[in-house]
Structure 1
Amino acid sequence: MKQKIQDILTGIVEQFKKDNLIPQDSNVRVMIENTKDKKNGDYATNLAMLLAKPMKKKPQEIASLIVNSIPVSNEITKVEIAGPGFINFFVSKNYLAAQVEAILSDDHLGVKVTDKPETVVIDYSSPNVAKEMAVHHIRSTVIGDAVVRILEFLGHKVIRANHIGDWGTQFGMLIAYLEKKENENASNLELSDLEAFYREAKKCYESDEEFAVKARGYVVKLQSGDEYCLKMWKKLVNITMVQNQEIYNRLNISLTEKDIMGESLYNPMLKPLVEDLVNKNLAVKDDGAMVVYLKSFADKDGNPRCVIVQKKDGGFLYTTTDIACTKYRCETLGANRIICFADSRQHEHLMMSWEIARLAGYVPEGVVLEHGAFGMMLGKDGKPFKTRDGGTVKLKDLLNEAESRAAELISQRNNDLPDNLKDEVIKTVAMGAVKYADLSKNRTTDYVFDWDNMLTFEGNTAPYLQYAYSRIQSIFKKAGEAKPGKIVITTPEEEALAQQFVKFNEVVNNAANKIAPHIICTYVYELAGLFMRFYEACPINKDEVAEDVKASRLALCKAASSIIKTGLNMLGINVLDRM
């Protein structure tokens, strides 16, 4: 209905132009808002006030012209002018009920699949090889995966890109140390060993000159494609990614081995890329290094920013890799849109890499490059989340702690669950709580990680929403053979719930456009609250409830459960029929 009202008003503005009531070049944006107070209708617009200046009339006079131009409709029961010139629209309850029934009959719950699908490359998670995933990886991982799911739901082709750190001079040291450990019959390495493994390799490199010489030699061999070094390198990558995949599976992250596009993928591109930048007069030699001067990043004195793309010794930098990566995603993957989820401190680096890629012609006109920047996860002390002794928190340990706390929460609430179901509930609640605590916050801001606030069945948490869903399933179970039927809206609670349902399409598209999963979190939380108020005010399974009323309310229950489940699934959070 919102879109229909917008179309009607847009048509009226165009007619005003034809009638020369406003200049032809007037750029008036028609805005329709959902009203907060239903006494003022369901939708409102300030269009009359926006037209006051170009039409040189009072807003209320213009509002009267607009209202008189709106065609009679069975869908809009009343249009009224309020205050200085707002126009309020009251939607027919019968039409609202029909909209909800249409949502229920649609596999996409009223969310329109795009008629202009794009190829979207989403760069997220990006752990480093030979290091265990730490808690700081969670934001990129869960936010990126939620956006992937949202865009796929809308019909876009999404390419997941796990840009792992699997290349660089440190791999000579790591290969040499892996060789040393295998010679000592310690070949069965696990990821937990690799944390110490990396530190010991570094210590060995710094204290043993013979080892350091071998390590430096292995760097050269690896980069030139030596078979033995490549074999040892692949072993390090596999050890790391097998363990990381366990984390992804546990968190219900959709990344798999086929989505790995590490730094090594772009290594063969770097030398010819720098040569191309030189040929295009973008890169020049400066003190032995190859640099690009960016006028768009000039300092306050007008001096262009110097960006190194190749060092004096011939080595390449992360910037060079990111330019090559962008070129590959545009030319090979055919991206229309590239979204990179990395923390806000990477913003300038990405902007400069992308600027060079555009100047070099690697990014076709119309391709959108977006930095999905996010803030930091903080402890209650307002500082970056750390262990008590100040160390980095391993992501695996955080998830173990979440399951331990979820087990205690579930045992306090329900001791009747069979053991096999209890394990599933604990894992589902724990992983949902961790993910939702992150996703429900605006991604661009820092947020405080708080166990007590995230693992509770009250407030804006995953357990609260999961419980709301399971409660609806218990309503269906109690209803027995009674089925959802024709919807008839008679109470304010039913109307409020129905109005929330019809917003779903707008919410999902808004979250996709702004790459902001918290928009869906807020919507689903509000929906759950409206459902609880509906449930308390509108009996369903009581004997005195007429069959047609029961069928109508069961249909509203079905819409609520379907949208809650779909909304949470878009966030990568599972629901349960019983908790």
Structure 2
Amino acid sequence: MSDPVATLAALLEPVFTELAGGDTADPTVRPSDRADAQINGALPLAKKVGANPRELAQQVVDSGVLASVADDVEIAGPGFINVTFSAEFLAEQLATVAGDDRLGVAPDARSKTVVIDYSAPNVAKEMHVGHLRSTVIGDCFVRLFEFLGHEVIRENHIGDWGRPFGMLIEHLLDLGEDVAAEGLSQGDLDGFYKQANAKFNDDEAFQERSRDRVVKLQGGDEETLVLWRRLVEMSNAYFNKVYTKLDVLLTDDDLAGESNYQPLMEGAYQRLEAADLVHPDDGAMVVTVPGFTNRDGDPLPLIAKSSAGAFMYATSDLACIIDRVERLHADLMLYVVGAPQAQHLQMVFEVCKMAGWLVEPTEAVHVAFGNILGDDRKIMRSRSGDSVKLVQLLDEAIERADAAIGEKNPTLDPATRESVAQMVGIGAVKYADLSTDRVKDYVFDFDRMLAFEGNTGPYCQYAHARINRVFDKAGVSRESVRGLPISIDEPHEKELALQILALPTAIGATMESYSPHKLCTYLYELASVFSVFYEHCPILSSDEPVRSSRLALADLTGRVLERTLGLLGMGAPEEM
């Protein structure tokens, strides 16, 4: 652990345990405005052992543990211990981080199998702005869990089954596969779906054909399945274009459509029956889940089979969890799904626990998120009232980024400018989403998210580009200064060092609450602290050995910026 605050806590744990008579006692070390860190554990420990907190704090100081990390220690108030880290200690920590490809972030002690369910567009429907949050948040956690050493299984639970596919397949036949393929490859999924739906509403013969086709699809008719697969393939090809533009890790290998779980639902239902969990309710077969009621206070059932004998979405979700636990051997399942699905997922998870399919330490977690709003603070829609197509939104972000970069740095060659515009435009969209507390709604504002000042993606990316520019002016490579000693002599050097070393704690806080905005806050603070350091601590004009020390510190800052940007799914431009 490279974070000095965490290092200090680890050093103090044996001291507090001894003072507690052998019982575990938390030193409770926190960053502080009064010093670099504050030890708050003496107060609760004093209450526990019946001692004076200031005298207990003095015993902590007298233990000598702090001498190796601090050049100033002060007992304040009723027993707080304020600690100022020594420059030598910080320099040692920086040297350790600089020599570590992981920048001080250790892999988790126990590797888990983590299944992450995210994105989930519907076949033959356009990916719209509503898919952005699930895709971006899910991709961020894929990167974080993989970085921490876990086996991550990405599952894109696409909507590729159900009654609408009868009319979609018939419309595909009416158009001809080649004509449909050309339209869908250009991204007109919404148009295709709307045409099929309009025909279904207006044409009784088409309705009958569509209903017959659903029966054939569900019955496994091979000709129908071939047409269905063709429709899925054409849709997935377009989804992949969006994923490539958005720079997320999803591929065809990660597809886990609703169709995958259709054959498993009968088995899941039989297991519910065997566990004596289902009972009839107004013709349907349901599970009563303790603690869930409707508006009238009556029990709210989870419907496993409709009155018509059809399996429901809940049955599919139950089969999905069985599959992920028993076939994939998941230790943790993350469902990156919008907040409106909270009650449904909670009920599904609870039924799985009741049935004995979801047993500790295996865990299922709903990573809920809010909505993206327009200027009117309502769910974002196009002027026509339709959902905003995601690919159009991304294209506009890139175009706006290109214009901003052209104004800021008109000498960039066209190829570099195109690459940078892609990184900045997509990064701006991702950062605006991830930097918002995921459970909250946020207003989508291109002007704000593409600004080069303030808490934005471009501001954080520009800090990385600025560091590269320093080395270009110096005429040396960044790699050439790695391994050079870093000295901490100025307050702004110290502030930057402390921020660099806080990366492991920032990642830990992000993972503890599944909150990407905490990692974004760290990134923004690092970029801001570097900007202050850059303004107040001359690099190239300094004499040696200060010049080399500050170059090494700048390089390490750049490495941490690049790593953090990467964990958020953002590029780190070398120039902007």
- What TM-score bracket applies, with the shorter chain setting the length? over 0.9
Residue 83 of structure 2 aligns with which residue? 89
Q: Distance in 2 between the 1:306 and 1:563 partners? A: 49
Counterpart among 417, 435, 459 of residue 440 in structure 1: 435
Residue 146 of structure 1 aligns with which residue? 140
1:271 matched to 2:266:
yes
Cα drift, residue 186 of structure 1: 5.3
Residue 500 of structure 1 aligns with which residue? 499
1:34 matched to 2:31:
yes
For residues 375-414 of structure 1, the aligned pairs below 5 Å read 375-414=370-409
Counterpart contact for 1:330–1:364, Cα < 8 Å: no
Secondary structure of the structure 2 residue equivalent to 1:524: helix
Q: Distance in 2 between the 1:124 and 1:284 partners? A: 32
Residue 559 of structure 2 aligns with which residue? 562
Residue 553 of structure 1 aligns with which residue? 550
Counterpart contact for 2:20–2:49, Cα < 8 Å: no
Q: Distance in 2 between the 1:158 and 1:447 partners? A: 29
Q: Distance in 1 between the 2:347 and 2:258 partners? A: 18
Residue 286 of structure 2 aligns with which residue? 291
Q: Distance in 1 between the 2:295 and 2:418 partners? A: 60
Counterpart among 17, 20, 28 of residue 20 in structure 2: 17
Residue 71 of structure 1 aligns with which residue? 65
Residue 120 of structure 1 aligns with which residue? 114
Show structure 2 runs of 5+ residues with no match: none
Q: Distance in 2 between the 1:135 and 1:519 partners? A: 23
Deviations 1:154-189 (A, max 9, x none): 111111110001111111111111111118965533
For residues 345-360 of structure 1, the aligned pairs below 5 Å read 345-360=340-355
Residue 156 of structure 1 aligns with which residue? 150
Considering only aligned residues, what root-mean-square deviation do their CA atoms show, in Å?
Answer: 1.9
Does 48-57 or 443-452 show the bigger shift? 48-57
Deviations 1:95-135 (A, max 9, x none): 10111111111010110012211110011101001001000
Deviations 1:35-85 (A, max 9, x none): 1x2xx3211122122234323344323322332234363322232111232
Change (3 A) 1:493 1:254: same
Counterpart contact for 1:46–1:86, Cα < 8 Å: yes
Counterpart among 460, 467, 471 of residue 466 in structure 2: 471
Q: TM-score, normalised by structure 1?
A: 0.94
Counterpart among 45, 56, 76 of residue 39 in structure 2: 45
Counterpart contact for 1:102–1:110, Cα < 8 Å: yes
Secondary structure of the structure 2 residue equivalent to 1:291: strand
Does 464-473 or 207-216 show the bigger shift? 207-216
Residue 7 of structure 2 aligns with which residue? 4
Counterpart among 415, 421, 427 of residue 422 in structure 2: 427
Cα drift, residue 478 of structure 1: 1.6
Change (3 A) 1:333 1:442: same
Secondary structure of the structure 2 residue equivalent to 1:309: strand
Deviations 1:395-434 (A, max 9, x none): 0111121122112211221111111111112111111111
Does 177-186 or 98-107 show the bigger shift? 177-186
Residue 100 of structure 2 aligns with which residue? 106
Does 5-14 or 398-407 show the bigger shift? 5-14
Secondary structure of the structure 1 residue equivalent to 2:223: helix
Cα drift, residue 541 of structure 1: 1.2
Counterpart contact for 2:16–2:26, Cα < 8 Å: no
Secondary structure of the structure 2 residue equivalent to 1:297: strand
Letter of the 1:7 partner, please give it.
A
Letter of the 2:59 partner, please give it.
L
Counterpart contact for 2:406–2:412, Cα < 8 Å: no
Cα drift, residue 390 of structure 1: 2.3
Deviations 1:323-378 (A, max 9, x none): 11111111111110000011111000001111111211222321111100011111
Change (3 A) 1:393 1:178: same
Deviations 1:515-543 (A, max 9, x none): 2111111111111111111111111112x
Change (3 A) 1:132 1:490: same
Change (3 A) 1:187 1:54: closer
Cα drift, residue 568 of structure 1: 0.3
Instruction: Among all aligned residue pairs of Structure 1 and Structure 2, give the percentage whose two residues are the same amino acid.
Output: 41
Q: Distance in 1 between the 2:515 and 2:111 partners? A: 19
Matched length: 568
Q: TM-score, normalised by structure 2?
A: 0.95
Residue 541 of structure 1 aligns with which residue? 540
Q: Distance in 2 between the 1:54 and 1:425 partners? A: 58
Q: Distance in 2 between the 1:260 and 1:174 partners? A: 20
Cα drift, residue 391 of structure 1: 2.0
Does 433-442 or 5-14 show the bigger shift? 5-14
| Structure 1 stretches of 4+ moved >4 Å | 183-187, 298-303
For residues 327-342 of structure 1, the aligned pairs below 5 Å read 327-342=322-337
